[in-house]
Structure 1
């Protein structure tokens, strides 16, 4: 817990964003940290709950009241130790996690939960700034060899923990850089990629070997992989997109999957040349099918590329902005959530099902046939 009366003395205060007109002109993160003192006040709001439901709300079971209390008492380094005891990479989750812990916070009964995600991000960012995030190599080696296939957050965490246990670990990635969807699926304006690189430096010092361009089952023989290692961890991501197969006009030019679009821009931001078949939204009118986070990432990316107009279609009905939390707390409520990318300039349409795509004589998509409800 933080201060006993903190939730009565201090209101909820979230990290502000850079102005829209400024942030859409670049690809960097635009969330502005609160600063140490303001973050300590937010940590002070953590109540002396009989049952801290945030524990169950957090998928990795972070000990949230413990590190909130440590931040409130200005013991940031111990807060970092506690945070790392359950989460290998809080700099990732502190930026891109949807924060179900906050929905489970007891204060959310009043719709003003503790800013847990903000505090988490502040702890780990301060840890890197102060030089507290150090390699933790194993005290003894086991001589066991382990291959981890897939270098997204799950693969990276598995590789780090196995290396710290003393095993010889190789982290394998089919792409040309480590990070999986963190690297090529999450836009830079939500999570800059130097965060992955600095963790890789720590992991390399702990004994993890990185092997990119290694596509198991394609250019890496499965039997040889098994024979060369005592264990193999499969941590591949879910990359198969949901298609609208069978929808008339689906084969028209100009219809793309998000994971064909987003990685291209991340690669360009990383210094790679633009591909000949680049998907570019500059000056175009777009429809984004899907109302979730991936759709939002496509909106933010298209806005920064210079799209003329963006309309997002959601198949579900528009949820309430302020649902009755007494009916759903401490579980994840269905509420209207407007993302930062949506606020940058897009139109939302609800209860829309795409029945057909319509094209021109050249075979390029020009419109779609919707059905409402």
Structure 2
């Protein structure tokens, strides 16, 4: 333990964000990291608890408490404090294949479970992780390290999101020959086209992919397995196949007027902006533009917030974000004690920017859409909404959100973005491989296992567990790799944690 009294001597300090009215002028990451000396002091705040909840990754009340990757948080926090950056990187890499991603886009479950947060402010673990990985690239610790021998076994990974990449990384390190197939023109899955540049600049993904290629992983882009390339051909050419295609069916809003022009899924909106940025810095105009438009976003999660921030950068005339559920409390209640995940109201970067630009929080709580109103040309002109309240269904005993009579109102709208989440694996992939589905249309396996009903076919990530966090995707990628390796070799030395 670096500094037994560090949590009392040093205050929590994190990177500074650019002012909202400055950062909305670009699509780049907008935080300025602490100097190395100050970052080391943040490592000194870690108490190296007897029971480190930060790395537990256990489920409490249906939510994860601590890191699902079981990152060795106290160990590398201590190493950061001591300035031993290389060993900190080595400890971090034991459990996390992609700290360059998680240190940017993970919601920091480790910090929510930090013992310091019980009566104060959590250790700045996420930014310590960021400092470790960026230092590793700068100093050369994160360079390619190809396996010294090959097993002669070939594995195909379908999908290059975090689960697919983690699977490929682990199996390649074991010495197997891995080919990753991606239907888009760039590698990364939702990391590439689902998360805006403001949160994850795409050269960060490319940097890691370059390392993986040097280590021997092959990437094939622009190929849709199941249509462009037959599943039968994949099964014939490879010893094992891992499906990691994500939960890619966007949840729709089926109300009158849904066929109006100007209604888009959030993933298509965000993808079009990122692709145009990467191809031409938006000069090609091949993106769904919110410039000068009244934007309504349906969905209050991270994707909805990303749509807020992106719309503002486009130059939207106004932005409203609809949430079905009530506003969460600003602080933990007695019903939500530590170390449970804090169910509190979070004002994210997009909402901060909307408050600065438009003078108010864009969110309207306990609200849902009744109808999309079209003009005479079939274009969206307005959205009819209604307020909701919580009521117990006497038949089931469940709490439901029900409409409040007489609360209907109409909002002008030029464009609607549906950010209501995702449902299940895409049918053309599951049909092509013949894998069974569960009641949620995710690929079915035995509890805690990754093998499907089809011989030599495994599954991991969102198409296995449903829409989830990047840390869960990486964990599933690591676990399926271990199971695949054992099925090939009869034993495995791959670690999961």
TM-score, normalization by structure 1: 0.97
1:359 to 374, 379, 400: 374
1:307-328, Cα deviation, whole Å (9 max, x unpaired)? 1110111111011111236842
Q: Secondary structure in 1 aligned to 2:77?
A: helix
Tell me the residue number matched to 1:48: 48
Tell me the residue number matched to 1:209: 218
Q: Secondary structure in 2 aligned to 1:315?
A: coil
Matches within 5 A, 1:1-373: 1-56=1-56, 57-245=66-254, 247-272=255-280, 278-324=287-333, 327-345=336-354, 347-373=362-388
Q: Secondary structure in 2 aligned to 1:119?
A: helix
1:48-76, Cα deviation, whole Å (9 max, x unpaired)? 31200001210211010000000001101
Q: Secondary structure in 1 aligned to 2:171?
A: helix
8 Å CA contact 1:109, 1:325 repeated in 2: no
Q: Distance in 2 between matches of 1:338 and 1:234?
A: 35
**Count of aligned pairs:** 372
- 4+ runs deviating over 4 angstroms: 272-277
Q: 1:2 to 1:363 in 2, by over 3 A?
A: farther
8 Å CA contact 2:161, 2:190 repeated in 1: yes
Q: 1:25 to 1:276 in 2, by over 3 A?
A: closer
Q: Distance in 1 between matches of 2:154 and 2:382?
A: 54
TM-score, normalization by structure 2: 0.73
8 Å CA contact 2:48, 2:75 repeated in 1: no
Ranges in structure 1 where 5+ consecutive residues have no aligned partner: none
8 Å CA contact 1:325, 1:333 repeated in 2: no
How far did 1:217 drift? 0.4
How far did 1:329 drift? 1.2
How far did 1:269 drift? 1.2
Q: Which stretch has the larger CA shift, 11-20 or 260-269?
A: 11-20
Ranges in structure 2 where 5+ consecutive residues have no aligned partner: 57-65, 355-360, 389-497
1:221-272, Cα deviation, whole Å (9 max, x unpaired)? 1011000000111111111111012x11111111110011001111111125
8 Å CA contact 1:94, 1:118 repeated in 2: yes
Q: Distance in 1 between matches of 2:153 and 2:78?
A: 40
Q: Distance in 1 between matches of 2:162 and 2:284?
A: 27
Q: Secondary structure in 2 aligned to 1:256?
A: strand
Q: Secondary structure in 1 aligned to 2:373?
A: strand
How far did 1:126 drift? 0.9
